[in-house]
Amino acid sequence: MYLAVANIKRVFHNYQIKIEKSIVFLTTIIKLRMNLVIDIGNSKVKVAVFEIDTMILSIVCEENSFLDELKKISNKYQIVQSIVSSVKDIEEVYFEELQKLPSLLLLNSDTPLPFKNLYSSPSTLGNDRIALAAAAVSNYPQKNSLIIDAGTCITFDFINSSNEYMGGAISPGIEMRYKALHQHTSKLPLLSKNEVYKRTGFSTTESIHSGVINGAICEIEGVIAQYKKDFNDLTVVLTGGDTKFLSKQLKNSIFANQNFLLQGLNKILTFNNQ
């Protein structure tokens, strides 16, 4: 009797070990199934890998090197679906390689979206703004949201509490403002943004910094104030390349998220593969 019970325990123990190993094996396989997100911007390319909604890798690279980065990612992760967004025409040499990606979705104005697009000319709405709207409805559903993307341009995008994209505004970015002052005048120097600036410039350099930085901050603060007059429960998100720089300067309560656009692209990808 004792031996029979011992044998039964041994058999159950062996089965338990096999089941645990199988669970570990299946979990490993599931974790390896990743989403690849590529955002081709005006000046840089952002590449990210998502495990469901969690971003596990994010890199920023030059356009002429991002194909090499894609090869490294493909060797390391088991990519099962991909999305590519570009604010400009993709060069043929890149397009041919991108088409080799698994389950590729090329974002355009005809792509099904997780929100209602009320823009009067949807075919002209930039992919970056589409992705930001998708991130807003994903992270802040049924909320009035103003998304500010501070990059090459400063864009403002508004999504209402009914998850409807209403539109927004496009303004020159900080670097563009510095370049414009230099290129369209004969004597003003080309400067780069400086966190330390004076409201009243006591030299040409100080005046340029004041005009550009203070001007951009006042513009953003002003737009937020205008929207808050109509929507008391407004959620404001700041994203883009100048997020860290501007978030230190802004007085308004905002959510700073440099990866908001990438999260939006991942949301669109999963929405189209449900």
Q: Which residues are catalytic?
A: 128
Name the one residue in this structure whose structure tokens are 């990612």.
73
Longest Cα–Cα distance of the chain, Å, equals 102
- Strand 153-159 and strand 145-150: the pairing is antiparallel
Q: Which of 58, 226, 251, 262 is nearest to 151 (CA)?
A: 262
Q: Which of 262, 242, 239 is nearest to 131 (CA)?
A: 262
User: Alpha helices, DSSP H only, in 33-156?
Assistant: 66-76, 92-98, 127-139
Cross-strand pairs, 167:
158
The DSSP output letter for 167 is E
User: Which residues, at least 6 apart from 179, have a Cβ–Cβ distance to it below 8 Å?
Assistant: 190
Name the one residue in this structure whose structure tokens are 């500010």.
148
Q: How far apart are CA 81 and CA 108, in angstroms?
A: 17
Q: How far apart are CA 23 and CA 28, in angstroms?
A: 8
The DSSP output letter for 212 is I
Cross-strand pairs, 50:
35, 55
What would the two tokens of residue 129 be?
A: 């703004």
